[in-house]
A = this chain, B = another copy of it.
Amino acid sequence: MERPEDGGCAGRARDREATRQRILDSARELFTSEGYAQVSSRRIAAHAGVNVALINRYFGAKRGLLAEVIAEEAAFPGIVEGGREGLPRRLAEHLVHRTLAGGTPLARALEHSAGDPDLKSVHEERLKNAMIGPLAEVIGGPEARARAALAASVILGVGLVRRIEGAAALQELDPDRLVDRLASVISACLAESAPGQAHSGSGRGRG
């Protein structure tokens, strides 16, 4: 069915798969460098050298293009695989290193569009399947999903704040200290029993 090679010929042959992939590659490149909302369908098409209508033909809508792009990459590559021991620290290190270095561009594409209502379902699936799900499975125990959701909140929140205010405040802390701190924060999220409150909370008046 498929042509064996579509190689480098100038006026390339009609090849569904190759065209699809070409669109996907352009979308990933542009989304990750400029963000979802910034890049128009027509620009993706032009970058890929194909017609605009093909985006909707192959991916339903622009939304579907992002969904396919982010489905390709793991949220926590090689982190949950390490097991429960030291998980908070590994998450913290991952977060800090991609926070301070700009890190995985895909995360940026997601943070760019975190609140976009058009992408709610895309983000919902991503959050559940790639973050809360794996995390909950690793930590186990009661209310695992709630604890995982809390950790995911911290991870997304830090990324969001970094994107909004340029990490100016966060960079007051040097990376190592920030990792320490985030590790303890994430530990508090994932812990099975809610620990007695830290030194700053002596005034708890609840019954």
Contacts and interface: CB of A to CB of B under 8 A. Distances in A.
Contacts of A181: 147, 150, 188-189, 194
Interface string A185-200: 1011111001111111
B198 A165 contact: no
A77 interface: no
Contact of A157 (B35, B124, B158, B176): B158
A12 to B, nearest CB: 34
Nearest to A146: B172
Nearest to A178: B146
A10 interface: no
A143 B173 contact: yes
Q: How many copies does the complex hold?
A: 2
A197 B180 contact: yes
A37 B198 CA distance: 40
A206 B145 CA distance: 29
A42 interface: no
Interface stretch (A14-22, A25-33, A51-59, A114-122): A114-122
A188 B190 contact: no
A118 to B, nearest CB: 8
Interface of A: 35, 37-38, 84-89, 111-118, 120, 123-124, 127-128, 132, 136, 143, 145-150, 152-158, 160-161, 163-166, 169-173, 176-185, 187-191, 194-206
